A and B are shown apart, each in its own frame.
Chain A
């Protein structure tokens, strides 16, 4: 009897064990090793003494705050624009019209395509030697490809933003669209008969219904963009660059002495990301409840 009870109690933890083990070993192991290196424990290169020097070095570096701000701005703007566009698309695609199924399918195409492939496509499209630039010359809008605005390897990060938008709009949109389709048109119709105009129907009826979907997906987008290194590495300028790129460069450097700094950046990045996500979640909870 007791054994049965014990088995019953252990059932859920046992079922979760494989997943938890992977997370603990791979993620936890990496974290511990990373934290160790960032505070001066890196026996491979003879570092054995605990120190916060690497954190001090990173935090006092002028480029750090610039990079942090750039990273935050990139993540914030990508999330904001993706969410707004996703909502706009979902509002259109929830209706059934001629070709709406095909359009919905096309809209979802970016989801399985890797970010790197998208980045390459964006370069081919918007760089000064890209398709748009050449078309612009062909149409006589610009004299030479050089007259086309710089969108790749630029400080504003236009190509980076475009890459994230292309990938994340459908990601948020699919969830929001599913919410809208499952809700159906009736709430909106009730609101209409009660005198709500189209803006009021969106603001007071549809938006609150979509909000939990928008928040739960946008938080993923924010976390993803905040920690993403390959797109800013491929499409961004060398200075200033985002924190993940900075950490990656230090990590990749043949000089192993830079590794503790890379880890310090990564840890700060993780802490800031966790802080922002908690704040975002709180804000989201407040928004949904009120």
Chain B
């Protein structure tokens, strides 16, 4: 159980700033996801936490103590990589027991804890197998066992599920979550998959271009995104420019009522957004009713995805699978004020 604090963490590679002034606090026993597209600096941050990479500026603290001068091998921040998982020259038992052997633990104790760990990752009796005899999922679990056996201060996982197929991914996701809760290890994992982050993490740190965009619980990224970019990353491209005046927003389609206590943007220029699944395609009242044109519709099995022209902006909305509308129709839709969120007027959206 270790409290991790990143203070003004910055890493430059020549002229490129890979991570820019990152401030973030991970509570003891918390599971955090670093989320973002490739090259956004999430793996660089992970490497700085392990000490494999030194920060250009800023500090990494474990339980209030600076780790910058502490070498990787003494930090107790164990990393599980997405590739090159197991040492090919060692069997499973030696792989799992590696950290304990390095710490000078007796062979008997190592053997005991290795078999305990293999039980934990549901691979008992695999001690004498060689890495090449294992499937990708099994290798991943052994790599996890090897990391957990040393009872690390912080467990770092770099895209741990990226190389697995869909079923294994689900299984592994549950395993990581269960073990992490059971052992109560502060854990940070890197992913570019927002679904994975949402399902696994207590909190998500979303990064773009080395800058932390938002650090919050998963739900917040859907309901209260910081910016249009964050909303877009979480598959919400429904944006409509407007001007907030107290408890309503003036838009090109008329005035929309909002809940003043729910939104955070002050009066003035704003961007209105409502998630596709929160739009009522079959309105229940006259409040916030707007008329829009149906551009396209796609049957998605359990629901229907409808593309709408909302004052020149393309919006998506989800309706019941049996919704009877035609492309080209102008239909009334309702934007429930409980689900209207206001974004800052960035990038003209």
A-side interface residues toward B, CB under 8 Å? 184, 186-187, 189-197, 200, 204-205, 208-209, 211
Instruction: Given the known inter-chain contacts A184-B84, A204-B98, please indicate yes or no for A193 contacting B77, CB distance below 8 A.
Output: yes
**Whole-angstrom CA separation of A190 from B103 in the bound complex:** 15
Size band of the B side of the interface? 20 to 34
Sampled A-B contacts (5; CB under 8 Å): A192-B72, A193-B79, A193-B147, A196-B102, A204-B87
B232 at interface, CB cutoff 8 A: no
Chain B residues positioned under 8 Å from A209 (CB to CB): 88-89
Chain B residues positioned under 8 Å from A190 (CB to CB): 79, 81, 84, 87
Asked whether B73 lies within 8 Å of A196 as measured between CB atoms, the reply is: yes
Q: Chain B's nearest CB lies how many Å from the CB of A219?
A: 19
Which one of B81, B90, B102 contacts A195 once the chains associate, using CB atoms below 8 Å?
Answer: B102
Which residue of chain A is the closest to B72 with respect to CB atoms? A192
Across the A-B interface, the 7 shortest Cβ-Cβ residue pairs: A208-B89, A194-B99, A186-B84, A193-B79, A192-B72, A196-B102, A195-B102
Chain A residues positioned under 8 Å from B52 (CB to CB): 189, 192-193
Asked whether B87 lies within 8 Å of A205 as measured between CB atoms, the reply is: yes
Chain A residues positioned under 8 Å from B177 (CB to CB): none
Q: Chain B's nearest CB lies how many Å from the CB of A7?
A: 36
Chain B residues positioned under 8 Å from A194 (CB to CB): 73, 78, 98-99, 102, 146-147, 150
Number of A-B residue pairs having CB atoms within 8 Å of each other in the complex: 65
Asked whether A189 lies within 8 Å of B79 as measured between CB atoms, the reply is: yes
The DSSP consensus for interface residues of chain A is helix
Chain B residues positioned under 8 Å from A211 (CB to CB): 89
- Given contacts A189-B79, A195-B99, A195-B103, list 11 more A-B pairs with CB under 8 A: A186-B84, A187-B87, A189-B72, A190-B84, A192-B52, A194-B98, A194-B99, A194-B147, A195-B102, A208-B89, A209-B88
Scan B67-100; emit 1 where CB is below 8 A from any A CB, else 0.
0000011111111010110011110000000110
**Whole-angstrom CA separation of A209 from B88 in the bound complex:** 8
B50 at interface, CB cutoff 8 A: yes
Residue picked from A184, A191, A192, most chain B C-beta under 10 Å: A192
Residue picked from A190, A193, A194, A197, most chain B C-beta under 10 Å: A193
Which one of A184, A192, A204 contacts B73 once the chains associate, using CB atoms below 8 Å?
Answer: A192
**Whole-angstrom CA separation of A209 from B83 in the bound complex:** 17
Q: Chain B's nearest CB lies how many Å from the CB of A181?
A: 14
**Whole-angstrom CA separation of A211 from B81 in the bound complex:** 24
Which one of A186, A200, A204 contacts B81 once the chains associate, using CB atoms below 8 Å?
Answer: A186
Q: Chain A's nearest CB lies how many Å from the CB of B153?
A: 11
Q: Chain B's nearest CB lies how many Å from the CB of A34?
A: 42
**Whole-angstrom CA separation of A62 from B204 in the bound complex:** 81
Scan B218-247; emit 1 where CB is below 8 A from any A CB, else 0.
000000000000000000000000000000
**Whole-angstrom CA separation of A9 from B12 in the bound complex:** 62
Asked whether B72 lies within 8 Å of A193 as measured between CB atoms, the reply is: yes
Asked whether B78 lies within 8 Å of A193 as measured between CB atoms, the reply is: yes
Chain A residues positioned under 8 Å from B84 (CB to CB): 184, 186-187, 190
**Whole-angstrom CA separation of A186 from B84 in the bound complex:** 7
Chain A residues positioned under 8 Å from B81 (CB to CB): 186, 189-190
**Whole-angstrom CA separation of A191 from B87 in the bound complex:** 9
Chain B residues positioned under 8 Å from A204 (CB to CB): 87, 98, 101-102
**Whole-angstrom CA separation of A200 from B100 in the bound complex:** 12
Which one of A189, A191, A197 contacts B98 once the chains associate, using CB atoms below 8 Å?
Answer: A191
Chain B residues positioned under 8 Å from A189 (CB to CB): 50, 52, 72, 79, 81
Which residue of chain A is the closest to B75 with respect to CB atoms? A193
Chain A residues positioned under 8 Å from B147 (CB to CB): 193-194
Q: Chain B's nearest CB lies how many Å from the CB of A252?
A: 48
**Whole-angstrom CA separation of A189 from B84 in the bound complex:** 11
Which one of A193, A200, A205, A208 contacts B50 once the chains associate, using CB atoms below 8 Å?
Answer: A193
Q: Chain B's nearest CB lies how many Å from the CB of A97?
A: 15
Which residue of chain A is the closest to B155 with respect to CB atoms? A193
Chain B residues positioned under 8 Å from A196 (CB to CB): 73, 98, 102
**Whole-angstrom CA separation of A194 from B103 in the bound complex:** 9
Which residue of chain B is the closest to A211 with respect to CB atoms? B89
Asked whether A195 lies within 8 Å of B79 as measured between CB atoms, the reply is: no
